[in-house]
Amino acid sequence: MPDYWAELPEDKAPKGRVLLPKDARESMSDGGEVAIRTMSAKARADGVDIRTGHRVQRTNVDEYGAVIGVEADMALGETVAFKARKAVIFASGGFTHDVAMRKNFLSVPVFGGCAARTNEGDFVNIGAAAGAELRNMNYAWMCPIVLEKALNDDPSLIGTFSPSGDSMIYVDRNGRRVTNEKLAYNESAQAFFTWDPAKSEYPNLVLIAIWDSRSQQHSASDEYGRFIVPEGKDDGHVIKGDTLAELTNNIRARFKKYANRIGNMTIADDFEETLKSTIRRFNKFAMEGKDLDFNRGERQVELLFNGPAAESPAMPNPTMYPISDGGPYYAALLTGGSLDTKGGPVTNPDGQVLDHTGRPIAGLYGVGNCVASASARAYWAGGATLGPILAFAYLAAKAANTEPSA
């Protein structure tokens, strides 16, 4: 599998750095599920008491300020105190599903994301109350998402990791292409947050994916959060039209439906004519195999995330195929979302949570997306969350084990 940044000259390992758990499907992103299943089984076999239905609310400290346990609320409202034998380690995820935190901290407008539903930023508040310094609160692991699933708080929302379809483009509300549709997901999401200082707006906050019957027939899938799905299977987000004129009218109606939630964005009056011109230009690129506007399909990672497509007929560039002159046509509204946020209390390499002077808060550790990521704004590669949490969790557990027993 190619590295996400295989073309960079400093990348000395452009292939072969991806590791999958033994029981994972080949080249499939179920490594996290495998890790949860196998590591939970091992923990239980070693006598670890795993409890769900408890939400930690605060830490308890001794007379010297060292963290010695936590208090948690149970489902029925009872509060239970847990005493730590050596230390407390948080791994509670980011704040993707806390609307107020998203609005207060993220540097761009995000409607939602696909993190675990319990990721509501608990450790931001708990850590800050314990004296932790915060960092990276404006950053997140990003991915395109289906707008309507985010607005409807749909628990089935998955990030669009792999935008399938070769006869498929993204256009703005004017009907123009504005980005390379096959960029790796974190980079692809940045297109939605382009800022227009003259108009004081995010003109691409909602983009429209357009595709034809070829992509619908050969690229439909319900994996990896794809927006081209088999007809009749959770396709409420799909807009259809037998002609581009009908598709335009239906897109306009869908924008109107959500206008008060997307900054009153509207479809331009000349959207249909501009879209036709955009399709003609894209089709010429597809026939010649060269995207002169956005270089689609020229990086290895874009071929990796091209998604399923018809094997034949094919064009010189496997990521592009001319969009049909006749319908039916399909569309979906997309925006940028978070896989999860990457800000929180600052830690050292051993996972110790640091205060505003840079000193460890005794007995308090954190790993994963609930603490400030070492990556800052960057997205290194697939597994950029899972890989570091495995490494830093090991270091944190090793360091916590050296703490004196209570």
Tens-place pLDDT, residues 334-379: 999 999 999 999 999 999 999 999 999 999 999 999 999 999 989 9
- Kindly state the tokens that stand for 319: 């990521």
Q: Which of 381, 393, 400, 338 lies closest to 1 in space, CA to CA?
A: 381
Read off the pLDDT band of 20 (50, 70, 90).
Answer: confident
- What domains appear along the chain, each with residue ranges and CATH number? 51-139+342-400 (3.50.50.60), 143-338 (3.90.700.10)
Quick one: pLDDT band at residue 17, thresholds 50, 70, 90?
A: confident
Mean pLDDT of 54-82: 95
251: closest CA among 260, 240, 262? 240
Half-sphere exposure of 368 (CA within 13 A, CB side): 19
Q: What is the pLDDT of residue 27?
A: 54
pLDDT at position 28: 56
Tens-digit pLDDT profile for residues 200-245:
999 999 999 999 999 999 999 887 789 999 988 889 999 999 999 9
Q: What's the pLDDT at 402?
A: 94
Q: Could you tell me which residue, 93 or 384, shows the higher pLDDT? A: 93
* Residue type for position 271: F
Of 115, 204, 95, 209, the residue nearest 157 (C-alpha): 115
Total residue length of the chain: 406
Measure the N-to-C terminal CA separation of the chain; round to a whole number of Å.
47
Partner residues linked to 113 by β-bridges: 338
Give pTM, 2 decimals: 0.94
Closest CA to 103 of 400, 272, 341: 341
DSSP string, 177-204: --S-TTS-HHHHHGGGG--BTTTTB-TT
Token pair for 132: 């932790």
Among 174, 191, 324, which Cα is nearest to 255's?
A: 174
- Rounded Cα distance between 4 and 177, Å, is 23
